[in-house]
Structure 1
Amino acid sequence: MHLNASAPPPTPTRARTVGVVIAAVLLLVGGLLLTYPDRAGAAADPLISNGRPATASSVESSALGPQNAVDGAPATRWASAEGKDPQWISVDLGATADVTRVALRWEAAYAKAYRIEVSADGATWTRLASETAGNGGTDDWTALSGQGRYLRVYGTARGTSYGYSLYEVEVYGTFDGGPPPTGAFTVVAAGDIAAQCTASDSGCAHPKTAALAQRINPKFYLTMGDNQYDDARIADYRAYYDKTWGVFKDRTHPVPGNHETYDPAGSLVGYKSYFGAIAYPQGKSYYSFDEGSWHFIALDSNSFDQSAQIDWLKADLAHNSKACIAAYWHHPLYSSGGHGNDPVSKPVWKILYAARTDLVLNGHDHHYERFAPQDPDGRATADGIVEIVGGMGGAEPYPIENVQPNSQKRISGQYGVLKLDFTDSGYGWTYVGTDDQIKDTSPKYACH
């Protein structure tokens, strides 16, 4: 059965199909795949959401993440937590687009009422279309007219007692300045993470940052040390970190902080026992790996005074063939927080600066801060290194104490994660709070 509602442009047109019934009929008459009504009228605009990063307000389980709604596979799906309104799923299109059509394929847990919205920054949303009498199946909205980088389906009333579940969110349109750069991928990063508390304690932050990190569903995760408090014993890793950030351990590239050295069993013993080869892929507590056009260098700032790591770093950079370089470790050279600037990192900065490194990520101070490009001596320069302090993963926040030169933005007291967007020629990021709101957006940088 088809229920249609239409009006003159720019009012969107929706064709609604009860998916299970139609699919069964088509299979009986010829084994055809489900097709959408009114598709011919919008065929000129390409599908621009497939494979793009997706986030959601919640997930029913790790197997039902938001990425399933943009993978082009009809059998996979996103599902929200059950019994709660509102819920949403958002797609990052990668660049500003003119959106002309959105097709939603609902699972049995559908939305009775929802909005389709677009946003330039992921924070301020404009409504494209709304539904108040949904009945599941497929909703195909055509004749849409909206512009933004992000598209969100925001459910306000469930059609069942369950949650919201979508097999596919298909967004059609055209990009204003051409399609997003190739080689794009997303990374989530944070430091100073797991206090000795669990989700049963409403004030415990690391379960919330882990849930946010999982909703973003990046290519991989980075940790910038002090992963487990207070002395990183293996028993504490298993009791706390493993229950939250450990859910995606196999996609994590960690580094140790100073708290990992406090283990009574020996420096880094619990850290190494918990992460194993993930933290020691090259047999040392420092290592490197590649993704796309990027070379990532994971360093152990507890041993910057040892020549073995410095010699390894020089050799690693000499053999690097990637166009862009990012490095991460625990102790920041520059910070406006309680620990302040840490000169232990300056010799490493000099080596990285000479190799035209683009980005450095650190923790240690429990706040968020970004710096303008600068050289190892703190002089602003266009070919300098961009540093981010990201120690807001769950440990008690530190106040801002002494604002450093070239510090562009500082946030203390709000837990969250870095959502880093890399392309084959540049990068940018947002700081996302545990309330799913974007707290800061960086400039867009080109690789050196």
Structure 2
Amino acid sequence: MRPFASAPPRRTTDRLPLVLAAVLLLVGGLLLALPDRAGAAADTLISQGRPATSSSVEDSTFGPEKAFDGVSTTRWASTEGVDPQWIKVDLGPSATVSRVKLVWEAAYAKAYRVETSADGTTWTRLATETAGNGGTDDWTGLTGTGRYLRVYGTARGTSYGYSLYTVEVYGTTPTTPPPTGAFTVVAAGDIAAQCTASSSSCAHPKTAALAQRIAPSFYLTMGDNQYDDARLSDFRNYYDKTWGAFKAQTRPVPGNHESYDPAGAFSGYKSYFGAIAYPQGKPYYSYDQGNWHFVALDSNTFDDAAQIQWLKDDLARNTKGCIAAYFHHPLYSSGGHGNDPVSKPVWQILYGARADLVLNGHDHHYERFAPQDPSGRATADGIVEIVGGMGGAEPYDIETVQPNSQKRISGTYGVLKLDLTDTTYTWQYVGTDDQVKDSGPTYTCH
């Protein structure tokens, strides 16, 4: 029944307790006679606190990270009544897997697979269950490698969805124990075209659904949140129907389209987002998460001396070890708009503060750059820039490939999934089909 694991026993708890007690007494005697079995207890837990994603969530309180938080009373739950569903954890590069323990809520899987993958696309099966009955499934004696581990449910045991209190993965990684302060952020720019889910070609409902499935700590946007003139009525008719579902967890910045509102620049943007976009009274602000300092800027007004002085003062006060900034207009881009020199003075300030990461929109494609300085010279202490303008607006072609550009994708809608720890960061560009289109390197903060 389990041909893909080397004789991995499955232990189910809360079933036939009297028989179980007798079996435990017998097994205990056998273990005393077989001291080499003690090695199973030495397996190292490598999944706790690691970044997690899932095919769906019942709602935001049942995100996939709950299955890896080490708390026995929290859980992941998928959408009800739909097969298949999956939950996935990023174990870090070059992980080996020897054991997987699953603790099911009442909504268990009757049939599922445990799989590993090096790239999140091609999967290798470790174990298969075809007659699950819930409780606890403890797969031991596994031999698997890969960055990602996935539990892929193919048949529900109830009319509900799939729900797991705990997914524990044991084995080894090059960086055991797992990093501290880990959290996930979803980011996108250039989002709500004037269309709705009633049109199959409308992309922003799909990117919003994807963003919710990832279930990050929070969401950030890199401008041009609403097309074409970002009126308040447009925000209500389009953006609010999709990305508005997690408005309270969003930290936005404006793009050039927010300035086109006939009622006045940023009028609809400010009326819609309110204090979410103006927490410090201006369309630029900063906040902290873990060991990260985030700076949200308005690139429409980089010629505003007040914003520039605010940025210098803000960075001087920062006490966090990692810095990310985001704004609409990219200094470097291989897309139709190309490089935008308006951002160079801000880059110079950020580079002087040893900032790590800059996120932009404006050009409607995905692109990542190697670390570089404000003059475009590749350097290990440079800033990593990512263009993530595929949130829903019509894609732009790649036109002139810029120096230090490492990867470019056009025509595939998706979001950035940023995985950050107290000392490192990496990311994936995830398409609306839930497939990883690109994975960035893992960088250490300056």
Query: TM-score normalised to the size of structure 1?
Result: 0.89
Q: Is the 8 A contact 1:101 1:141 kept in 2?
A: yes
Distance of aligned partners of 1:195 and 1:224 in 2 relative to their CA distance in 1, 3 Å threshold: same
Give me the CA root mean square deviation. 2.5
2:11 is matched with 15
- Structure 1: tracts of 5 or more residues without a match: 27-37
Residues 4, 126 of structure 2: 8 Å contact kept: no
1:234 to 222, 232, 235: 232
Q: What is the alpha-carbon distance in structure 2 between the residues aligned to residue 427 and residue 60 of structure 1?
A: 28
* Aligned pairs, number: 431
Q: How big is the shift at 1:49?
A: 2.7
1:314–1:228 distance in 2 versus 1, CA, 3 Å? same
Q: 1:213 to 1:8 in 2, by over 3 A?
A: closer
Equivalent residue letter for 1:362: N
> Of 418, 423, 426, which aligns to 1:425?
423
Write out aligned runs for 1:279-358 (5 A): 279-358=277-356
1:136: how far off? Answer: 2.5
- 8 A Cα contact 1:95 1:179, kept in partner: no
1:323 and 1:166, CA in 2 relative to 1: closer, same or farther beyond 3 A?
closer
Inter-partner Cα distance in structure 2 for 1:263 and 1:156: 48
| Aligned partner (choices 198, 201, 206) of residue 200 of structure 1 | 198
Question: How far did residue 80 of structure 1 move?
Answer: 2.3
Task: Choose from 133, 146, 156 the match for 1:135.
Answer: 133
- Aligned residue identity for 2:214: I
Partner of 2:42, secondary structure, is coil
Q: Which residue of 2 aligns with 1:375?
A: 373
Aligned to 2:183: 185
1:79–1:40 Cα change, 3 Å: farther
* 8 Å Cα contact 1:420/1:429 also seen in 2: yes
Counterpart selection for 1:270 from 255, 263, 268: 268
CA distance in 1, matches of 2:364, 2:178: 33
Q: Equivalents in 1 of 2:365, 2:129: separation in Å?
A: 41
* Distance apart, 1:73 and its partner CA: 4.0
Contact 1:362/1:389, CA 8 A, preserved across alignment: yes
Q: Is the 8 A contact 2:391 2:415 kept in 1?
A: yes
Q: Per-residue CA shift, 1:237-273, capped at 9, x if unaligned?
A: 2222222222222222110001111112211111111
- How far apart in 1 are the matches of 2:4 and 2:289? 47
1:48 aligned residue: 46
Do 1:134 and 1:159's aligned partners in 2 also have CA atoms closer than 8 Å? yes
Q: Match for 1:282: what amino acid?
A: Q
| 22 and 172 in structure 1: CA distance in 2 versus 1, 3 angstrom threshold | farther
Superposed CA deviations along residues 205-242 of structure 1, whole A, max 9, x for unmatched, are 11111121112122221110001111112222222222
| Separation (CA, whole Å) in 2 of partners of 1:342 and 1:417 | 22
The whole-number CA distance in structure 2 between the counterparts of 1:104 and 1:391 is 38
> For 2:270 and 2:259, how far apart are their aligned partners in 1?
11
Q: Distance in 1 between matches of 2:213 and 2:388?
A: 19
Deviation at 1:149, TM superposition (A): 2.8
Partner of 1:211: 209
Q: Secondary structure at the match of 1:155?
A: strand
Residue 292 of structure 1 deviates from its aligned partner by 2.3
SS at match of 2:257: helix
Q: What's the CA shift for 1:194?
A: 1.2
What is the one-letter code of the residue matched to 1:77?
Answer: R
Q: AA paired with 2:388?
A: G
Kindly state the Cα deviation for residue 22 of structure 1 after the two structures are TM-superposed.
Answer: 5.4
Contact map agreement 1:53 1:217 (CA 8 A) in 2: no
Which region of structure 1 is more displaced relative to structure 2, 44-53 or 142-151? 44-53
Higher mean Cα deviation, 323-332 or 359-368? Answer: 323-332
Matched residue, 1:438: 436
Partner of 2:88: 90
1:65 maps to which residue? 63
Which secondary structure does the structure 1 equivalent of 2:12 belong to? strand
**1:362 matched residue in structure 2:** 360
- Cα deviations across residues 334-383 of structure 1 (Å, max 9, x unaligned)? 11111111111111112222222221110000000011122222222222
Partner amino acid, structure 1, of 2:117: S
Work out the CA distance in 1 between the residues paired with 2:115 and 2:127: 7
2:412 counterpart of 1:414: yes
SS of the aligned residue for 2:406 comes to strand
Q: Partners in 2 of 1:207 and 1:260 — Cα distance? A: 20
Task: Tell me, in whole angstroms, the C-alpha distance in 1 between the residues paired with 2:176 and 2:342.
Answer: 44
Return the offset for 1:442. Answer: 1.3
Q: For 1:176, which of 166, 174, 177 is the aligned residue?
A: 174
Q: Distance in 1 between matches of 2:169 and 2:133?
A: 20
Letter in 1 for 2:142: L
Contact 2:359 2:387 in 1 (8 A): yes
- Matched AA of 1:394: G
Distance 1:293 1:74, change over 3 A: closer
Change (3 A) 1:41 1:405: closer
Deviation string for 1:270-321 (max 9, x for gaps)? 1111211121111111111122222211100011111111111111122222
Alignment-derived partner of residue 34 in structure 1: none
Contact 2:4 2:125 (C-alpha < 8 Å) held by counterparts: no
- Aligned-partner Cα distance in 1 for 2:3–2:326: 54
In structure 2, runs of 5+ residues without a counterpart are 22-30, 32-36
Q: Give the letter aligned to residue 270 of structure 2.
A: K
| Superposed displacement of residue 184, structure 1 | 2.3
- Partner Cα separation in structure 1 for residue 296 and residue 199 of structure 2: 32
